[in-house]
Structure 1
Amino acid sequence: MKTPIAILLALAAAPVAAAPAAAASAAAQSSVTIYGVADAGLVLERGGAGGNVQALSSGVASASRIGFKGKEDLGGGLSASFVLENGNNIDTGAAGQGGLLFGRQAYVALSSTTLGAISAGRQYSPYYKALRDIADPFVVGLAGNAMNMIATTGRVDNSVEYQTPRVNGFSADVLYGFGEVPGDTAKSRTIGASISYAAPESLPLNVVLTHHQRDNPLATARSRSTMLAARYRVGDVTTHASLSHNQDLLARASNDALIGATLAVGQGKWMASAIFHRDQSTLEQHARQLAIGYTYNLSRRTDLYTAYAHISNRNGAAFHVGNATDNGTGTGGFNLGVRHVF
């Protein structure tokens, strides 16, 4: 049986060993790129039920990965593209995402300069992209990861996504994930959407309104999340904010607010955020996360990072400080590591 690494190497070498027809097709490809992230760091956790944890972890700031992406110009403003992205843990060499070969992303797309883009496969939800790109100063990584407290579905299997072109600063993103249950289209179904505005360069403002919902396997319950997020830059300072309303499959509702900022200083960048979770049930299981972090660029591709976050749980709330790949076990977390992007 071929190992995942052997399959990855075979894919990378395929254009060289391809048959003439396949070679001609590969030659027509406008671009094919192999890319990735190698990230490893020290993680210290405090306040967990099982005691303190000291670990060398992979993917603390950004999940370690290797990916393949390509794009072909079909003419007339139309192009085809694909992404195949494998997650891996460089501390152990094991595959990420439960051992899936391309568990991070796997999709094919058609794009038009005038009509937008449609893609199909395993891909990120609009809600997750809004949280990562607009709301969270930590870009859902390090100890300050907003997903420590603001739950969402990152990737959606069996999904089709349509993204409109940007017109006068506005664009929309709609995703439908097929439940693929015989006889019932609602079971395990996922629906996501967002509408966003990106201001001209003279006013560096980004705003997005997004919604995500998923039915359980029996279609008897549905989780829902709605978020308004904004990002605004003035000089070297970027401010972040979001408000969200969430309801899980047990109909437990919460309101979550995030405020944060990033400050560019020389070759480095400071990040800070505060997240407030307000439980809407009679249990009042509220929580708060405070986080601060710093990254220092050794080069265009390599940086050092450190971060600290602490969560205060009330009345039995059980949130943990995690990072880009680990959910965490404690209420306090410290990171120190290095990230290389290639």
Structure 2
Amino acid sequence: MTQASEPSIFLMFSKIGLPMDHHYTLFIDEAGDDKVKHLKPSVVDGNSEWLCLGGYLIRAEAEPDLDRRRDEILRSIGGQPGGVLHFQKLHPKNRVKATQTLATRTNSARGFVVCSCKRTMLNHHNARAAAVTSNQRDYLYNWVVRLLLERVTAYVANHAQRHGIKKPVLRIVMASRRGHHFGQFKAYVQQLINQATAGTTYLSTRQIVAEVLRYNLIELAHAPTQPGLQLADVLVSAFFQSIEQASPHHADKVAMHLRPLMAERRTASGRQTRRDGEGVTFFPDRRAVHLLTADQTKFFEHFGYDMGWLKSRKAQKHKQHLTQAQRMWSREA
């Protein structure tokens, strides 16, 4: 959905006349783990400092083009068309090429990422949550997906309105992950849809735009079989590598090449666009801003974050009363 290429790409695929039960497709993948104890880099063999969820959003008509987009990246790094693209296995110089190619403006798409700073959750325990689930880690993953969907659904609704699409529908394809209860996740999303529809969304400054979601269009798939998920893997893994201090080649900051791809929003004046809190979300920003290294701070500033303001007395005075962990563990959230 890059503005420069939007008309030509969308018109090209609209002429194909493919029957569609949806207008947009979002591919979601993750990087990092969802454990909140013994975090790196303080603990050398510990769990990741960050959990990142990334989404690659396209118009449904562009789905037949995903193989070509994946193959374009493979060719740029000397790979074979039709192969499987896996960011973690790429040579450092090829990671740069992969991100640069993914952000090519001729490929109409928008990127989203939510970077959850787990250091704000250390030593948190909630007895009620422990009593109702056998896998508490699902709560963190589901919560971060929620933040992602809040932003994506709002973007889809706004984009559809600008382009004359009535009653837009979003299809979601998620990369399968070990140990995650997908059925419970879909039930969680349905709960969010119900809350948004009834106006009872709890503990949130934003909410999911329920009208664009369909329960039966939330799917699980294996990344090796889905080029869209492989593109989402490049996106989210690049961000993870760029902020996770213990990640190999952390200093390369390859995600900076993805700036043109990441979704924007118009400011109140309508004269400028911003990516912070939209295409790139650092969460919880006001609580975690003091925990960032100078390197991480500079990275998020590249995507529009005003770290000086987040640290200011005014911003800190109005930071969220509840921590990320407290909000996440709420049964009603």
TM-score clears 0.5: no
Q: Which of the two has higher C-alpha Rg? A: 1
TM bucket by the smaller chain?
under 0.3
Q: Which has the higher strand share?
A: 1
Higher relative contact order (CA 8 A, sep 6+): 2
